[in-house]
Chain A
Amino acid sequence: MDLDFSQEQDMLRETVQRLCSESAPLAVVRKMEDDPSGFSEQLWRQMGELGLIGLTLPEEYGGAGQSSVEGAILYEELGRSLAPCPHFASAVMSGGALALAGSDAQKQMWLPQIASGAAVFTPAWLEPQRGFGPQGVQLSAVRDGEHLRLNGSKRHVACAAAATRLLVLARTGNGEHDVDLLLVDPKSPGVEITQQYALAADTQYKVAFKDVRVPLADRIGAAQSGWSTWNTLMHDGIILLAAQAIGGAQRALEMTVQYAKEREQFDKPLGAFQAIAHYLADASAAVDGGTTLVYEAAWTRALGRPVDRLAPMAKLFACQTFRDVTAMAQQVYGGMGFTIECDIQLYFRRAKQLQLSWWDTRYLEELVASAVLDAGQPPRLTEDGRKTFKTPPQPVRAVRSRTELAKDLAEHANQRGRCKTYAEMH
C-alpha cells in the first residue's frame, strides 16, 4: 500500500496550481460571478494549451488519455481555487459521452475541438420539479422523418450562452430508460435560453425547447441507450466532483485556521478558544479522511474495478464535508464572514451548490444503500481481496444476569489471588 503520488502526478498538480494562481485568483472568481459566459476566457485558453481540458479524453482525439487519478488531481486543485471554467460540463460529461458512445464521425468532428477548448459543450439534463433518475427526463423527442422534434424545458444548464452544442437528455419512449442523448445547436430555431441567478452565482440557464428539430445523426449512440451512457459517465464524473469538493474543503479549512491564528478577541487568538479549536480539529479529520476516500475511488476506477459503491460514497462524503466545513468557517469568521468582502463566503456558497448538483445527498444515499443492501446476499464492504463477513462462531458462554456477571468478573480477577474477593467488595 502506498498513498503517495508519482512524480508525474506531483508535476501535474504543480502545473494546475500555478495556472490557477496566475489566471484564476479569487479576484477573477469574483469577476466571473453571474457573468453571462460564466468562465474566464484566458483561463480556459491556457487550460487548453496545457492539455488540461482533454486530460482524460482519448489521445487519438486530441486528449491526454490520463486516468481518473490524474483527473482527481486536476479537480482537487480546481476546487481549491474555485476556478470558474466549464470543464466538467464540456470535457468530462459531454466529451465523455462522445468518447464512450459517439460514432467515429462524431468523435472526429467534436472531440479535438472539445479537448482544445475551441468548442464548449454543456449538458441540458435537469427539469423543473424532477429528480436525478431516468424518470426525471421528460422532455419529449418525437420522431419526425429523419429528425426528432423536441418539446420541454431544462434547468441548471451551465454556460449555455457560450455553448457550441447542448447535450440534451430527451425521452423517446414510455419505458423507464427510454432516454436519448442528442447534440443540439443552441442557435436552432425554437431554442430559448434565459439566464437564472443562483446561490453560487455560477451562471446557470433555463433552456426552453419548442418544436426544435434535431437530425437523427446528432444522436449519441443507439436509440434509447442514452440513460445507460449517462449513468456510466456520472459514476466517473462524481469522483472528480468529489475531488473538487474536498479540495474546496481543504482550502476553506486552511483559510479558517489561518484566520483563527491571526484574529484576537479577549486578548487571545480565536484558535486559543477550545470551542473554536475543536471545530477545526473535527474538520481536519473529516477533510483528510474524505481526501483519501476520494483517491481510493479514483484509483479503483483507474484500475477498471467497479465503483458503484465507492464513487457515490466519495461524492456524498466530500460534498457533506465541504458544506459542513464552510458553514463552520462562517461561524469562526464571525461578523466578517457574513460580508461580501470576505473570501470565505465564496466557498460557503459554492459548497452547497456542489452538494445539490450532479446527484444530491438523497440520490447518492440511495445509490450507496442499494450497493450495500440490494445485492441479495450479505454485503461486501470492501472492493476486493479482503474478507467478507463470515458469521463468527456462536459463543458458548451462558447468559448471566448483572449480579452473576459481577461475581464472575470478581472471580476472574482473583485468579492470581491478589485481588479482593466479590464478598469483600460488597
Chain B
Amino acid sequence: MNFDFSEAEKAFVQAVEQFLDQCDTPEVMDVTRENMAQLVDTPERRAFMSKCGERGWLGMGWPKEYGGNETEGVYEYLLNESLARRGAPQIGKGVGIVGKTLIRHGSDKLKREFLPKILRNEVQFAVGYTEPEAGSDAAAMALKATRDGDGWRLNGQKIFSTSAHFADWYWLGARTDPSNKHRGITLFLLHMDTPGLTVQPMPTIGDEITNSVYFDNVYVGDEYRVGELNKGFQYISEALDLERFTMFTFSPIEQRMEELCAYVVTEQCDGRPLREDLVIRQRIAQLVTQTEVARCLGLRFVAKASKGGAAPTTDSSQYKLYATELSKRIANAALDIGAPGTQLRVQTADAPMRGRPELTYRYTVIDTIGGGTSEVQKNIIARRKLGLPPNF
C-alpha cells in the first residue's frame, strides 16, 4: 500500500508543471472555463496541444507500434489533472476515444491515416452519439446509413455534438440495421466539411457551445467505416468506459474547494470573520471531507487502471457519480457562503472569488448529465458491480 506517487511520477508532474508555467497565457489557460476547458478550440489552444504532442504526451499509453510509449495509465491521469488545474485544454477524445478504439478495431488504412495525426495534434474530433430521441438510451440512435455504391448515405440528426463547430472529423454512430437495436449500429469517421452537413450551435448556460447537426444525404466512403458492420454500439460502450476515465478530472473540484476555504479564511461579515461562523465551519468540514473521498474514489480506478487489464468500469462510474454530485454541492455552498455578492457574473470586479462560484453553479449542472447521467451511473453500479437484476 502506498498513496504517494512514485519518484518517477512526481518527476513527470514537475516536468509538466514547468512546461505549463512557460505556456501560462490567458489565451491558453483559463480556470473559469471549468471543465469545458478541455476543448482544443482556438488557434492558441491548438498550438499548445501540439507542443504537448512534441513532448510525447499524446498517446502515451498506446502501444509502441502505433507511436505510443506504453506508459501506465497513471501518467495520462497526472497529465490531465495538471492541465485541468490550470484551465488548459486536456487530452481527450482523440487519444482516448478515437485513438484507443482505432487501435483495437480500426482498419490499417484508418490507423495509418489518423493515429499519427492524433499524436501530433493535427486533428480535432467531435463525437456524435446523442440524438433527440436517443440520450441516455444511446443504442436507440436512428441516424440512417444506407448503402450507396462504395459508401453510405447518412440522413437524420444528432444533438449535443460538442466541438462540431470547430472539429475536423466527426466520430459518429449510425443505424445500419433497423431490426436490431444494439447490433444494428455502425461507427463512422466523417469529415466535418462534407456537403450536406449543417451545424447549428446551441449556447449553453455554462457559457460554452454545443451543437445540433443535420445530415442531408451526406456521403461517407466505406473505407471510413470503423471496425465491423453493426458492431458500433459495442465499440461505443467500450469507448464510454475509456472516456469516463479521463473526462471528469478531480483537480477543478479540489481547486474550487480551496478557493472557497481561502475566502472563508480571509473574509468578514458584519465585522466578524466568516471562519468563526459555526454553520460555515460545519459545512466546510463536510465538503472538504467529501472532497477527499472523491479523490480517493479517483485513486481507486487510477490504481487499478495502472495495473492493466480491463477498464475499471464500475470504479469510474462510482467516481463520476460521487464527484459530480459533490461538485454541485460545493458550487451551491460557495454561493451560500459568499452571500448575495456571489450572484455577480464571473469576472465582475466586485464579485467574491472572482465570480467563479456563479459560473460553477451554472456550469456544474452538466456534470451529472454529460458522459452518462447520475441515474445511468447508478444503473451501471447496481448491475455490473452489485449484480442486481437488469430489469429496470
Contact = CB atoms under 8 A, between A and B. Distances in A.
Nearest to A294: B296
A410 interface: yes
Interface string A398-412: 110000011001101
B26 A269 contact: no
Nearest to A377: B265
Interface in A127-157: none
B257 interface: yes
Contacts of A71: none
Interface in A372-426: 372-374, 377-379, 381, 384-385, 387-389, 392-399, 405-406, 409-410, 412-416, 418-420, 425
Contacts of A299: 1-3
Interface stretch (B53-61, B127-135, B234-242, B299-307): B299-307
A377 B266 CA distance: 9
Contact of B388 (A257, A388, A394): A257
B303 A3 contact: yes
B26 A385 contact: no
Contacts of B365: none
A1 B379 contact: no
Nearest to B320: A285
Nearest to B274: A373
B207 A292 contact: no
Contact of A5 (B1, B261, B299): B1
A277 interface: yes
Interface string A227-265: 000000000000000000000000000000100110000
A269 B389 contact: yes
B255 to A, nearest CB: 7
B71 interface: no
B388 A272 contact: yes
A289 B261 CA distance: 22
B203 A289 contact: no
Contacts of A257: 386-388
Interface string A260-295: 110000001101111001101110111011101101
B18 interface: no
Nearest to B315: A288
Contacts of B74: 1
Given A2-B303, A385-B5, A289 B293 contact: yes
Given A272-B391, A368-B289, A285 B381 contact: yes
Contacts, number: 244
B314 to A, nearest CB: 8
Given A2-B1, A5-B1, A280 B382 contact: yes
A419 B348 contact: no
B275 to A, nearest CB: 5
B24 interface: yes
Interface in A160-191: none
Contacts of B211: 413, 419
Contact of A368 (B199, B257, B285): B285
A344 interface: no
Task: Choose among A69, A289, A296, A313 the residue with the greatest number of B CB atoms under 10 Å from its CB.
Answer: A289
Nearest to B355: A399
A40 to B, nearest CB: 31
Given A1-B74, A278-B382, A418-B165, A378 B258 contact: yes
A47 interface: no
B244 interface: no
A369 B282 contact: yes
Contacts of A260: 388
| Chain A CB within 10 Å, residue with most, of B41, B199, B381 | B381
B292 interface: yes
Interface in B39-94: 41, 74, 85-87
B164 to A, nearest CB: 8
B85 A387 contact: yes
A33 to B, nearest CB: 30
Contacts of B265: 373, 377-379
Given A373-B265, A392-B31, A409-B203, A292 B297 contact: yes
A365 interface: yes
A401 to B, nearest CB: 8
B299 A281 contact: no
Bin chain B's interface residue count.
Answer: 35 or more
A277 B382 contact: yes
Contacts of B389: 261, 268-269, 271-272
B318 interface: yes
Interface string A348-372: 0000000000000010111111101
Given A1-B303, A1-B306, A292-B300, A313 B388 contact: no
Given A3-B1, A369-B284, A288 B200 contact: no
A285 B321 contact: yes
Most buried by A among B1, B297, B319: B1
A69 B1 CA distance: 9
Nearest to A401: B345
Contacts of A69: 1
A416 B165 contact: yes
A293 B3 CA distance: 10
Contacts of A22: none
A316 B289 contact: yes
A419 B198 CA distance: 7
Given A365-B282, A393-B24, A409 B207 contact: yes
B377 interface: yes
A281 B388 CA distance: 10
Contact of B262 (A272, A367, A378, A412): A378
A293 B378 CA distance: 21
A269 B31 CA distance: 47
Most buried by B among A292, A366, A385: A292
B285 A6 contact: no
B262 A292 contact: no
Contacts of B85: 387
B86 A392 contact: yes
B291 A381 contact: yes
Given A289-B297, A378-B261, A373 B281 contact: yes
Given A280-B388, A285-B297, A369-B285, 10 more contacts: A260-B388, A284-B386, A289-B297, A292-B299, A293-B292, A295-B3, A372-B285, A373-B281, A393-B24, A406-B203
23 contacts: A2-B1, A2-B303, A3-B3, A4-B303, A6-B1, A273-B392, A281-B379, A281-B385, A288-B297, A288-B300, A300-B3, A316-B286, A369-B282, A372-B285, A385-B4, A393-B24, A398-B347, A413-B199, A416-B166, A418-B165, A419-B199, A419-B200, A420-B198
Q: What are the nearest 3 A-B pairs in CB distance?
A: A292-B296, A271-B388, A369-B281
Interface of B: 1-6, 9-10, 17, 24, 26, 29-32, 41, 74, 85-87, 165-166, 192-193, 197-201, 203, 207-209, 211, 254-255, 257-259, 261-262, 264-265, 275, 281-282, 284-286, 288-294, 296-297, 299-300, 302-303, 306, 315, 318-319, 321-322, 345-349, 354, 375, 377-379, 381-382, 385-392
